Structure 1
Amino acid sequence: MKGKIPNLREQHKAATRQEIARFAVGLFLKQGFVNTTIDQIVEPLGIAKRTFFRYFSTKEDLVLAWFEEKTPALVRELGDRPVQENPFEAVCATLSSLLVRYDANPGSALAMMRLTKETPSLVGRDLEKRMIWEQALAAALVERVGQKTMSLLKARIVVGTAMTAFTAALDEWYAGGGKLKLRPIVEKAFSMAGTP
C-alpha cells in the first residue's frame, strides 16, 4: 500500500500539530485535564487561540492526536504483513507494533491511560478511536486478502477479536499499576482469543 508523500507545508503542519499535542499532554499529566486551559497551552508556545483551533477542535483531540496519527501507519503495517500469514495473527502482530511506545516509557504510558480512563470526556473519545481503528484495519484486511477470500463482516470479526484481546491486556496491565511487562500480557491475551 503506497501513500502519497507529504509536501513541505503538510510536514510543517504535522510537526506543529505534534508539538502542540505533546506540550498539552505534558500539562494534562502535570496539572490534570480539567484544570488545564487552552490559554495555558497556547501562551507558552507563542501561538494564538485561532491557530490552536486550526489544528484541534477540542482539548480532547489533543490527547487522542497520537492515536489518530497512528491509524494510517497501522493500516500500512497490516498491508505489509506476509500474505501467507494467518489474518488473525497478522492483525495481532500489527497491534503489537504499538507496544514500542509502552516499552519505551511505561510510566508515561500508564499516566496517559490513567488520564484517558479517569477523564469522563475522554472515555467516549477513546472508544471512538478504537472503532476507527477497527474499521480501518478491517478494510485493510479485506484489501490484503481479497474480497473473495474474506468478507468485510469476517474481517471486522477478526479485527474486533484482536482489538478486544489487546484492550483487555492493556486493562489488565493498567489494573496492576503497570508493574508487569505489558508484552507478555498482550501475547497471552492474543493466545487466549485464538483464531476466530
Structure 2
Amino acid sequence: MTSHHPQLVTAKLNQLHPTQITVGKLEVTLKRQQWNAMNRKARAEALDSHWFPAVAGPDGNYFIVDHHHFGLALIEEDVKQVSLMILKDLSWLEHGAFWNAMDHHQWVHPFDGNGVRQKYHAVPEHLTHLQDDPYRSLAGEVRRAGGYAKDATPFSEFLWADFFRPQIARELIEQDFSVALAQAKQLAATPAARYLPGWCGPIAQV
C-alpha cells in the first residue's frame, strides 16, 4: 500500500547534502545562541519536534531543502543525528535529471554570494562548506525586526537579499551592521519592494 504521507527517517547530520550555496553566517550564530540558551530537556524536545524537509537523491544521499542555518548551527554544536521528513524519493534519477527535478519543484537555490546563478555542481556536498552571504544575514534580521512578514515562498529571504544587494554596500554590512539594518528596513517599506514575498507596505506617515 502506497502512503501519501511524507516518510519520516533519522539521519546523520554531517552526511546531509545542502541545496543552496550560501547561508547568512550571522543567522547561524543566532541559531547557536538560541541552542546554547536551552537546557538538555529543551534541546531534546527541539530535536524531537523538528523535522528537516528533505529529498532522497542519488547514491543514497539525503538533500535538505530548508533549515540550512539550523542544520549548520547544530553541526557546529556537535549534534550528530536529526530527523528528516522525506518529501519525495528521487533516488532513482541520474544526477542531471535529479537536479532538473529539484529545480522544477523549487527545491534548489544555486546562487553564489554575489547573487549570481551557478551550475548545479557548485552546490556543496556538505553543510560546513556553505559560503557566507552577508546580505542573507541582513535579510533575516530585517524580517525579525518586522520589516517584512515570514512567507512560505521558497528561498524568500534570498529574494530580499538580492533586493538589498545593489542598494547597500557589503562593506557597510560587515563594518556597521546596525546602520545597514536601519537602511534595509527603510528600503523594505518602499513601493519598490512590493513584488517581494511578505512585503508589508509603506510605513504610515505620522
**TM-score, length of structure 1 as denominator length:** 0.24
Query: Which of the pair has the greater relative contact order for Cα pairs under 8 Å at 6+ separation?
Result: 2
Bigger strand fraction: 2
**TM-score, length of structure 2 as denominator length:** 0.24
